[in-house]
Structure 1
Amino acid sequence: MKGSIGRINEWFHRNGIFLKAFGVTFSSVVLVAVLITVSTLRLSIDYFMETFTITNERIVNQSKERFEYYSNVVLDTIYSTENNVRIKRAIIEEQASSVLHASAFYDVVNELEQIHARLQPESADLVLMGENGALYNMNYAYWPVSSGYLQGLDFTKQLSLNPGMIQYASIGPDEAGGERVIVAGKAFKERSSERIYAYIYIVIRESDIRRFYEGYTSEENIMLLMNRNGEILSSNRTDWIGDEDAAAAAIFGGEAGTSGNVPAATVKGQPYQLLYEYIPVLDIYLVNLVDRMSIASQLVNMQELVLIVAWIVLIATILSWLTTRHITLPLTRLVQQIDTLTRHHFKKPLKEEGGYESVQIARAFNNTLEELNQYIQVVVASQKKQKEAELQALQHQINPHFLYNTLTTVKFMVDKGDADKAIETIHALTGLLQNTLGDISETVTVEKELSYTRDYVLINQARYGDRIQVNYFIDEQCRNCLVPKLFLQPMIENAFFHGFNRKKAGYIQIMVYRTQQQLICEVADDGDGMDMEKGWTQHAQEGRKGLLKGIGIRNVQERIALMYGDGYGVAFDSAPGRGTKVKVTLPLLEAEPKQFQPEKT
């Protein structure tokens, strides 16, 4: 037993590097997988809910407009009935005979039918009750009530107390004998005697008023009408109708004319995102409830997501085990060889065996034993060169924003089916990258520099369209002249991204010509221009949208001064509204014939 434990401990001791590397790799894989999954899930749900909320706000506003339209129809109907002289006279005047009474009844019905025609598109009913109990119900099957029922209704009593006001009420199925209805009513009174001579009721069933918003609802997206007391008057959740929710009413605060968005509210004991709009004519709230949890569960299949993450972790674990073992096993053997060496006895070389890494380490170790001082000098020189190379690489690295935006543009072209333009853009990007990965300090011919420039212009026009046109005016005798590599690109970049912020279109002119001893390159645009008194440094620095990091106009000025001296460089000429011209003065140097290669087309 002790021997087994000892062998296990020895194995752990000998494979410590492997176990540590594998443990770190495995933990990193699991942590990264979990963090990416959780972050992606949260961002996806938040983005979807933000978009969903914006859409629902529009839906609530549209539904509110629909209710306001219905309210206007109700108001027009009530006032048309109240101001109808024939209806008023027929109800107030007592008829001496049954024939006159029938004639008066017919006049009222005839007038009400014409008025009721305004309500028919809304599927609403019109009921008029005279002071003597005479009842004129335009659609008895819609709301089968009697004059005795209406006279004993609490709503009628409220109308009589406030005869000058239009009031609304929700009457349940137990009271109306049918389904729940929303009733608008008003008591008509004579101005001279203040006597109430009739009551009007505009009735719409809850199922009909539900049609105003039901097309926008779902199981997770609930709409309801609620009064200030929290009573639910209408909803696509029919089992909620008639219930009261004090918690929801507390959100409104009893204040009329309010609206809002509550990200986390409790309604009927469940958490929802709550949007509400007050409808002043009806004195009710239109409420939209969004079940975030249900939407999130439908948006993401958690079982499938967990399964995918588990497979990724499992595969990554196996690969990391095999890779780590493959790397560390030769190193473990090498360590065992070093451990067996006598202290201060460096004449015995290590066996160069195992994998490539262990062989190289053993060989390096043996070389160190033989030529320690020489090796140190080489290492110091190598580290110095490496630092210089890293610094230069940081200055010349390709901007990831430029690559990302260009590749996104290519993807958009492919999605649109514009394969030819996408291929042309990819060719331009490929050529541009091939040239930018070289030594930035070298010189090229004007012909090659123009080739880089055309590729860069093509990519920018593919991204932003042809609103900025680029024209080339090149002296043919200048095409074989030598210029600093990529010195035109910052000028074009500056014109594209700073020259047309106010103006939306224009031209960029590129001119190259020679004098007796100088090569002149000008980049002019007819864009916004700038105030030279404020200096041009704010436009001369590198941008985040450009091709290269660290290669700005200021850098071009410094490179030219370093390469050719103080007699050459960059000059600006600009004014607001007049555009900008950048002039670069270089020495007139021509390439050897073998250096000149015509531009590929």
Structure 2
Amino acid sequence: MRRFFDRFKYNGLFVKMFIVMVVSIASVAVITTWTTINTSERVFLETFSITNSKVVEQIKSNMDAYNYAIVIASNNVLQSGSIRGFLTEGDGNSLSQMRAYYNMSQQIKRIHSGLDAYDVSIIVNGVNGRSFATDRTIWPISDKALRSHPITDRTLSEPRKLHYLYDDANVSGNPDVAPTIVASKALLDRTTGKVYGSMYFPIREQEFKRFYESFTSLGNDVAVMSGTGMILSSNRSEWIGQPSEQLLNYAKEIEKKGLPYMDAEMMDKSHVILSTYLQSLDLYVVNVIDKEAAIGQLTDTDAIVLTVMIIVAAALIIVFLISRRLTKSLTRLVKQISTISKYEFDHEVTVGGSYETRQLAQAFNSMLAELQVYVRELLETQKGQRNAELEALQQQINPHFLYNTLASVKFMVQQGSKEKAAETINALISLLQNAIGNVSATITLSQELINLKNYVFINHVRYGERIKMNYFVSPDCMGYHVPKLIIQPFIENAFFHGFNQKSEGNIYFMASKDGDSLVCEVADNGDGFDMGGVDGLPLPQTSRRQLFAGIGVKNVHDRIKLLYGEQYGVTIASEPGEGTRVKIRLPLIKG
């Protein structure tokens, strides 16, 4: 992965040029393809809409012919005296009833002959309870059910109108009734204006579908819809018998505005809607065209995209080769410059390639000669400055600490505690010996532990033993080396800032190995503080009056990072009232 990023870095100019060309070529290809496909789709849809308008007109013509045949048949039924007599006269002798039935049936058969082109039945139902049907299998409904059927109610509510209504098992409650379209009209006496019955012309939806079925295809659907929005017939079986207010609104808008077609969203798809209104039938013939399906039959989008991709790929290969050739010498120079700045600072770059590249290489070599001298001097200066700063910090033994310690020794001598005074002097001498010395020297953890104990001993002499000190050091860590005075500043902070509110407590020093690291911890159960400081080391500023040396907590953290790297250093955690825990992570260093 690193090698990949290095190659990307060295070939930055080439990559940027190539990306610009890729984006440009791809953008042109996408825009051209999109424009071509959309133009083709628009032209196709306009042509398809014109063609389908003629198809809709043909469907309308077929249905008008059927309606005309129904109108002729209904008028013949109304004009037939034998039919009116059969449906209105009361019960007589059997002979007269048979004669009336025979005359009526013959009359209806003659009328039905005008409907032979269609698989349709004629049913008449009179107010006297008599009825007759040419074919009960088309619409298998009983006379009793027919009298209370919603179709009959609708027919009698508008007796002068020819109705086209829908019936199926759900509407009639009869499981034997298949989807059926029923033309119905009341039998009205023209002289008296009284209704003496009703007539029905049922046709199965499957038969009715033949008027338009040959004009449908995938994505090109037809629906015959009543004026109330009920879909009476469709090549889409799931639409039949379902109300569609949305489709009705589209059909009405097309009719009202005289639109040739309309773009609409239906069922989460884009459609083209064509519609014509059959006023004599009070029906809408609606042609619903699925754009995606219709266009998919015309254009092979996948093939177009594949062709464009092949052309783009070929263009990109040519651009790649040309761009690579133009930038190769410059890339080689950049790689040499990057390598020299990291690993071979005293080497010059090779002069070669195009004129521009040669001029850059010569200018870089001239600059490099001067830069080498400057960098060498700067590194030496920084190294000396860093050592001087650390040495100065280690030499900053606070005179107040010495004065107060010696004053305590004087007081112990005056009190006759000569042994304790001598022990205090020895502890101070040991501290001074370790504090003053080689800045880069390290000491073992065992020696640092002795220094800590000496420092704690002096503090106990000066301030008493209200704060206890506890040591928990793993024996296998004693031989590892640590920088001088690396732990003492945290013990000092705990002594002088950890117990301002609490009168007594404990400080714990712990050391153990953690993988490849030496982890030293200084913890106390003192006051604690709110973590909100700077650089993740929010300890209080230490009073100069109390310090043993001028090395602060921030200095310790920076010193560790400077010596050993970013993965080492100091982390602090504290809670008000709970105490503070300082973790110092160092590398494992043997003497």
Q: TM-score, normalised by structure 2?
A: 0.51
Please list the CA deviations of residues 277-331 of structure 1 after superposition, one character each: whole Å capped at 9, or x if unmatched: 1111111211111111233344444444443333322221111222344567799
Partner of 1:406: none
Partner of 2:59: 63
Partner of 1:128: 124
Q: Secondary structure at the match of 1:286?
A: strand
Alpha-carbon distance, 1:5 to partner: 9.9
Contact 1:258 1:277 in 2 (8 A): no
Please list the CA deviations of residues 144-178 of structure 1 after superposition, one character each: whole Å capped at 9, or x if unmatched: 22221221123223333333332232122331632
Contact 1:220 1:294 in 2 (8 A): yes
Partner of 1:74: 70
Alpha-carbon distance, 1:247 to partner: 2.0
> Structure 1 residues 182 and 87, CA, compared in 2 at 3 Å: closer, same or farther?
same
> Structure 1 residues 193 and 38, CA, compared in 2 at 3 Å: closer, same or farther?
closer
Contact 2:165 2:182 in 1 (8 A): yes
Alpha-carbon distance, 1:223 to partner: 0.6
Contact 2:274 2:288 in 1 (8 A): yes
Matched, 1:235 2:272: no
Partner of 1:84: 80
The number of equivalent residue pairs is 337
Q: Secondary structure at the match of 1:244?
A: coil
**Pairing of 1:108-507 with structure 2 (within 5 A):** 108-174=104-170, 175=172, 177-253=176-252, 260-268=259-267, 270-326=269-325, 333-336=354-357
> Structure 1 residues 50 and 75, CA, compared in 2 at 3 Å: closer, same or farther?
same
Distance 1:155 1:206 in 2: 16
**Aligned-partner residue type, residue 121 of structure 2:** D
**Aligned-partner residue type, residue 272 of structure 1:** H
After superposing the two structures, state which structure 1 stretch, 18-27 or 79-88, moved more.
18-27
**Aligned-partner residue type, residue 274 of structure 1:** I
Please list the CA deviations of residues 481-540 of structure 1 after superposition, one character each: whole Å capped at 9, or x if unmatched: xxxxxxxxxxxxxxxxxxxxxxxxxxxxxxxxxxxxxxxxxxxxxxxxxxxxxxxxxxxx
Contact 1:228 1:252 in 2 (8 A): no
Alpha-carbon distance, 1:110 to partner: 0.7
Contact 1:252 1:258 in 2 (8 A): no
Distance 1:170 1:328 in 2: 77
**Aligned-partner residue type, residue 334 of structure 1:** Y
Please list the CA deviations of residues 107-138 of structure 1 after superposition, one character each: whole Å capped at 9, or x if unmatched: 11111111101112121111112221221101
* Aligned match for 2:96, one of 96, 100, 112: 100
Alpha-carbon distance, 1:185 to partner: 1.7
> Structure 1 residues 190 and 231, CA, compared in 2 at 3 Å: closer, same or farther?
closer
Distance 1:108 1:337 in 2: 115
Distance 1:302 1:59 in 2: 27
RMSD in angstroms over aligned alpha carbons?
3.3
> Structure 1 residues 50 and 187, CA, compared in 2 at 3 Å: closer, same or farther?
same
**Aligned-partner residue type, residue 124 of structure 1:** V
**Aligned-partner residue type, residue 210 of structure 2:** R
Distance 2:25 2:277 in 1: 52
Q: Secondary structure at the match of 2:318?
A: helix
Please list the CA deviations of residues 407-460 of structure 1 after superposition, one character each: whole Å capped at 9, or x if unmatched: xxxxxxxxxxxxxxxxxxxxxxxxxxxxxxxxxxxxxxxxxxxxxxxxxxxxxx
Q: Secondary structure at the match of 2:243?
A: coil
Contact 2:141 2:177 in 1 (8 A): no
Distance 2:62 2:301 in 1: 39
Q: Secondary structure at the match of 1:178?
A: coil
Give the number of the structure whose alpha-carbon radius of gyration is greater.
2
Contact 1:248 1:266 in 2 (8 A): no
Contact 2:179 2:205 in 1 (8 A): yes
Partner of 1:49: 45
**Aligned-partner residue type, residue 87 of structure 1:** I
**Aligned-partner residue type, residue 288 of structure 2:** L
Q: TM-score, normalised by structure 1?
A: 0.50
Distance 1:56 1:335 in 2: 67
Q: Secondary structure at the match of 1:287?
A: strand
Distance 2:314 2:356 in 1: 30
Distance 1:296 1:27 in 2: 29
Contact 2:185 2:199 in 1 (8 A): yes
Contact 1:123 1:204 in 2 (8 A): yes
Q: Secondary structure at the match of 1:249?
A: helix
**Aligned-partner residue type, residue 166 of structure 2:** S
**Aligned-partner residue type, residue 187 of structure 2:** F
> Structure 1 residues 202 and 319, CA, compared in 2 at 3 Å: closer, same or farther?
same
Please list the CA deviations of residues 389-412 of structure 1 after superposition, one character each: whole Å capped at 9, or x if unmatched: xxxxxxxxxxxxxxxxxxxxxxxx
Distance 2:126 2:6 in 1: 107
> Structure 1 residues 155 and 287, CA, compared in 2 at 3 Å: closer, same or farther?
same
- Give ranges in structure 1 of 5+ residues lacking alignment: 343-601
Partner of 1:34: 30
Q: Secondary structure at the match of 1:117?
A: helix
**Aligned-partner residue type, residue 243 of structure 1:** Q
Alpha-carbon distance, 1:8 to partner: 8.1
Distance 2:11 2:266 in 1: 62
**Aligned-partner residue type, residue 333 of structure 1:** S
Distance 1:26 1:255 in 2: 47
- Give ranges in structure 2 of 5+ residues lacking alignment: 331-352, 364-591
> Structure 1 residues 257 and 123, CA, compared in 2 at 3 Å: closer, same or farther?
farther
Alpha-carbon distance, 1:20 to partner: 6.8
Alpha-carbon distance, 1:60 to partner: 0.9
Identical aligned residues as a percent? 27
